[in-house]
Structure 1
């Protein structure tokens, strides 16, 4: 049997209209030649070939083509999708050319619409249309004197600004009326321990008649923290909210959000008064803090900062009706002072991924892309806003650190005044004493470096670009090795090197490190805290970097070893502004220690030779002295009597307890007003 063929003898051809070329067939079907040839080859369109003629000699019958096209449309439901994109033959009928042009126009129009929508969506996802909310703000400096400490707050009408200052000697609450150039001390030395950089310490009552402030009475426990008030125009200090660490009023002044200082910083919402039976809206896990409660403008959410002080936190929000917290930022750095200009625009302070700052950031809470707003050397210490978002008040900070030395004597009861040290770098902090030398850290812009001072001359041992040390460098017992932890390019790294700066090597870059390291007395391992599911624990890392073994299972950081390796002391979780000092045996087991509770900002503990005592900073957040705890008797002794304006932020002491180096921080801040009314 032969294959079927569409070849028909000339004598049998029908008398109806015949199309004698590919061009005529294409014109009849309003298609181009390529399309009809493809249909004939792939879909069996009825095309006949003349017998004995060359291969290109074809013809088709109109009736057959009509029948085939009707069948094809019934099968496919529509014409070939390429129909709208064909080239119309020159001799095609006018109506067919118009149809093709219409289809072309429709296709181009749809393509353009889709392109515009796609580009618009992409630009919005990248926040191409985002604008700096303070780009056109006017700046005014409100203070022009020294010893401004910040924590600035602004009244709801934007007319009064309160701040902390040591202008009269002791830290007090001050107030000024915007534009008056006059400043009034409201507390006159009657209140102690006003400073706490981890929370919003100052505020105003909704009607602006009172300035409110955080306070912990001297010598009281963390649970004794409360919010007090004083009339804006001056008057008697009175209790405002008992046992409330921070609060914020809703925009209409009818509801109050607040948290206490008990474990987890439980967050409450009430109708304007704190009641003993208020039910907590949210409470964090132990060791995690929730600070800076802030109402959303529409009253639907409470925004707050949650994390582990002081360098791992983010902004979250929770519905005022209850529910689970929702994460807003994902920076995992030190975040402070969130304010909302409107229900979309969030401003806040945050350090960068390497720990430098804090800088001023903005974010649209819908798209949640952070934008850093300042790129100069100025750092921010506080931020507040009026409820309508038209005025901001901020503290610009340029703190200065320096090192001082003093010698303690066993026989003399008189403590000499600390003497400033001359160092090659412009600033110095994180001091550590080694045998015959001193190590310290210095900063220049976004870069930090480790220096060695020996024999009156200084040598730079290490410098990191865009690097931030997580704590003081650690010196091995024999003084030959140095270990230090760094946050750099978003990663935490533990380094070790020789005491002369040679032999730099990485011990670990796989852990989320916290705080300063400490050498084990045998020099075979380094102890440091690392985050495990958000909680820091002490780990023992071998010097070859091959092993990392958990040492303490509970919340623990900032280790210090006894020189015989029998025990290690460490700091526990913060509760309010305080933390407990604990100890573990060399194998991680329990080790007894007299009760010791210290204030935030003094985590470094030094263990004297033969384990006879611990030396530490004790006092208020902004003013501490050196103390000694006798481990045999459990009795504490004050070693220094530094002035009330002396902020000792760090120290180190020789193993024999005689040579001391103190790190002093001096604040140099200014209060600035940002007027956004023209935005």
Structure 2
């Protein structure tokens, strides 16, 4: 890890030119219109003027726009740098904070319900405060900023929009109080009209609509059971919906002739997700893609305007995806890869001319040529702090250019704390953080420090702080890969965590001061959710190297891993005496189990424990129960006593814990509990009218 570099003598203080200052790698990269990795490489290789003030509230990295402008102008001039510029590697998206599925998550009805609003979550919607980044002039080769207008925003979540073919209306799903329905709203103004009524259906979630090319039908999904969605068709006038088939994913796309739909499904639970095509008239299905075994599969798709090509989002693992294009001509088999960024793509559509694909990420909208060999570029849009999802184009008509609508998303996830020894209003309070994500908290063995993950710098990294949130310091500097799940060693000197460096997650170890980082696992499978044995001789982790998630262990010095559990298992934590390992089965199987650390029978311990929201103390298990039928008055912290084998309720938490970025930790003495909670959630619809190529 490089030591921070000081500023040159006479450098301006960040307080001298506040309007000219960019306060993070994320802001600097967005201003330059490139990825964070590219900006950092430019600093190292081409003297990009970056300044550092370690551990200030504004962050340790900053830059002045005027100096960046001067550097960029000089860089654009012909001269010795030209050869390096021409040979520059493609801009990467690897620094975009990834939309992180929960560990072990699958694209099923649970994902549909969660995506439609994190069922049961109390949503605090904040006002739109989009900040416009000044872009470079056309003389530098950068696009001028696009200023969208807010199309739909109220005290609910509006998501997954789809424009009618003529661009006059938008259909989208609208979520409030855990119930999602479809609504149609005219572009020219007026009230939104409800299209479906979840209260009249066994399913309480309808979403991900797609308007047909002829405008006479809307396809959408309806949650029907565990990991099952129904694919339905409905007229825009609200006639009864017709069920077409079942499916396991969320991606939909109409063929341009409106006669069939592409959708996501798989033949069995162990197969990768694939793209299928179904006839609207006959219901006949055929398979379009066959992802390799061991991959997560194809999750999103979009037909080109002429129907000759299909854009495909393929996940190599649960956490990384890339964009591909395939020909619909049977004689031209295979997929052509467009991106090499292993980034989380959240929706896509073709521009009306069929030459460019626009896709959403957690750092806004990006575009790329549909011809291989090009590189992606960000759309410079006001409000780049938020993510963009589900872009949808209308067709241009006589006198009316094309329009683009998309979902604009912001999130602020924070760590909350419950103190058993306190009474009154300070018993439950928020741990100071940032306006971004703080998640995966872990209390140190002595209870004096916490470790957590945060994306405040533009990349997910591990941080440590005092137990009250003071003296926050960054520990890892991986600058892009998803870094999660830190856990302290028994002596408090080291941290173990998982990181997605090469496309799949592996286990890493690092000193708590940020020195001596080492990789412990090297399998092509997913290794995550690590923890330490009480004696510090082993590190437990979940691995799916056998085809299912099981708990394994490896020495902290590295070496061969040993399988611990026989059945599916995750999140293993040792008891205080080191005799038992406690674990959960997965997101879809509530409950807690144990197995002797020396080997033996796996035994059920207690019900209602949910993955990612439990922890072990010396005296028992602490966990949060939030399901309405189990905790009708709201989410509660509960305690399972090892001695009495009973469960008691300790406290009520202010809101539903964050399913978006989960986390839970309890001190060994049981006096402090930490968990993650979403503070500011905003999903609104934005309109770019007109769209110009």
User: Is it true that 1:668 corresponds to 2:677 in the alignment?
Assistant: no
Aligned residues of 1:204 and 1:212 also touching (Cα < 8 A): yes
The alpha-carbon distance between structure 1 residues 126 and 287, as it changes in their structure 2 partners (threshold 3 A), is closer
Partner of 2:443: 433
Deviation at 1:541, TM superposition (A): 3.7
Per the alignment, residue 241 of structure 2 pairs with 238
Q: Check conservation: 1:651, 1:660, Cα contact below 8 A.
A: no
In structure 1, the residue matched to 2:344 is 334
Measured after TM superposition, the shift of residue 283 of structure 1 is 4.7
- Match of 1:669, SS? strand
Structure 2 counterparts to residues 297-308 of structure 1, below 5 A: 297-307=305-315
TM-score, normalization by structure 1: 0.62
Partner residue in 1 for 2:408? 396
Equivalent pair of 2:552/2:564 in contact (CA under 8 Å):
yes
SS in 1 for 2:287: coil
Number of residues paired by the alignment?
Answer: 527
1:150 is the counterpart of 2:163: no
User: What is the aligned partner in structure 1 of residue 463 from structure 2?
Assistant: 450
Contact 1:362-1:371 within 8 A present in 2 as well: yes
How do 1:607-626 residues align onto structure 2 when only pairs under 5 Å count? 608=616, 615=623
Cα displacement (A) at 1:371: 1.3
TM-superposed CA distance for 1:469, in Å, is 4.5
Shift of 1:369: 2.8
- Name 1:203's counterpart in structure 2: 210
CA distance in 2, matches of 1:369, 1:626: 51
Give the conservation status (yes or no) of the 8 Å contact 2:259–2:281.
no
Give the superposition deviation at 1:295: 1.9
Are residue 163 (structure 1) and residue 167 (structure 2) matched? no
The corresponding residue for 2:534 is 521
Q: Residues 156-555 of structure 1 correspond to what in structure 2 (within 5 A)?
A: 156-166=165-175, 171-187=180-196, 190=199, 201-209=208-216, 211-217=218-224, 220-223=225-228, 225-228=229-232, 232=236, 235=238, 238-244=241-247, 245-246=249-250, 247-260=252-265, 262-263=268-269, 264=271, 265-273=273-281, 275=283, 278-284=285-291, 285=293, 288-307=296-315, 310-320=318-328, 325-328=334-337, 329-341=339-351, 342-350=353-361, 357-374=362-379, 376-386=384-394, 390-406=402-418, 419-423=428-432, 425-427=434-436, 428-434=438-444, 435-437=446-448, 438-447=450-459, 448-454=461-467, 457-460=470-473, 462=475, 464=477, 466-477=479-490, 479-486=492-499, 495-497=508-510, 501=513, 504-508=516-520, 514-528=527-541, 540-544=553-557, 546-549=558-561, 551=563
What TM-score, normalized by structure 2, do the two folds share?
A: 0.61
Unpaired segments of 5 or more residues in structure 1? Answer: 1-118, 351-356, 410-415
The equivalent residue for 1:33 is none
Instruction: Give how far 1:292 is off.
Output: 1.5
Provide the C-alpha distance between the structure 2 equivalents of 1:582 and 1:299, rounded to a whole number of angstroms.
Answer: 51
For 2:523 and 2:509, the matched residues in 1 are separated by 15
Counterparts of 2:357 and 2:590, CA distance in 1: 32
- Structure 1 residues 168 and 539 mapped into 2: Cα distance closer, same or farther (>3 Å)? closer
- Equivalent position of 2:125 in the other structure: none
| Structure 2 residue matching 1:243: 3-state secondary structure | strand
Query: Taking CA–CA contacts closer than 8 Å with sequence separation of 6 or more, which of the two structures ends up with the larger relative contact order?
Result: 2
Question: Take 2:374 and 2:548, find their aligned partners in 1: how far apart are those partners?
Answer: 27
Q: CA deviation at 1:395?
A: 1.6
Deviation at 1:474, TM superposition (A): 1.0
Find the residue that maps to 2:663 and give its secondary structure. strand
Structure 1 residues 239 and 289: alpha-carbon distance in aligned structure 2, compared to 1, 3 A threshold = farther
1:259 to partner: Cα distance: 2.7
**Distance in structure 2 (CA, Å) of the matches to 1:157 and 1:281:** 29
Q: Distance in 2 between matches of 1:180 and 1:652?
A: 44
Q: Within 2, Cα distance between the matches of 1:629 and 1:324?
A: 57
> In structure 2, do the counterparts of structure 1 residues 286 and 506 end up closer, same or farther at CA, with 3 Å as the change threshold?
closer
Q: Secondary structure at the match of 1:398?
A: strand
The alignment partner of 1:142 has SS state of: strand
Contact persistence 1:228–1:237 (CA under 8 A) = no
User: By how many angstroms is 1:238 displaced?
Assistant: 3.4
**Secondary structure of the structure 2 residue equivalent to 1:402:** strand
Does structure 2 conserve the Cα–Cα contact (< 8 Å) formed by 1:392 and 1:674? yes
How much has 1:642 moved relative to structure 2? Answer: 7.0
Judging changes above 3 Å, is the alpha-carbon distance between structure 1 residues 308 and 642 closer, same or farther for their aligned structure 2 residues? Answer: farther
Max Rg structure: 1
Which structure 2 residues correspond to residues 596-615 of structure 1 after superposition, within 5 A?
A: 603-604=611-612, 606=614, 608=616, 615=623
Is the alpha carbon distance of 1:314 and 1:432 closer, same or farther for their aligned partners in structure 2, counting shifts above 3 Å? same
SS at match of 1:335: coil
User: Equivalents in 2 of 1:386, 1:581: separation in Å?
Assistant: 50
2:172–2:208 contact (8 Å) kept in structure 1: no
Q: 1:279 to 1:394 in 2, by over 3 A?
A: closer
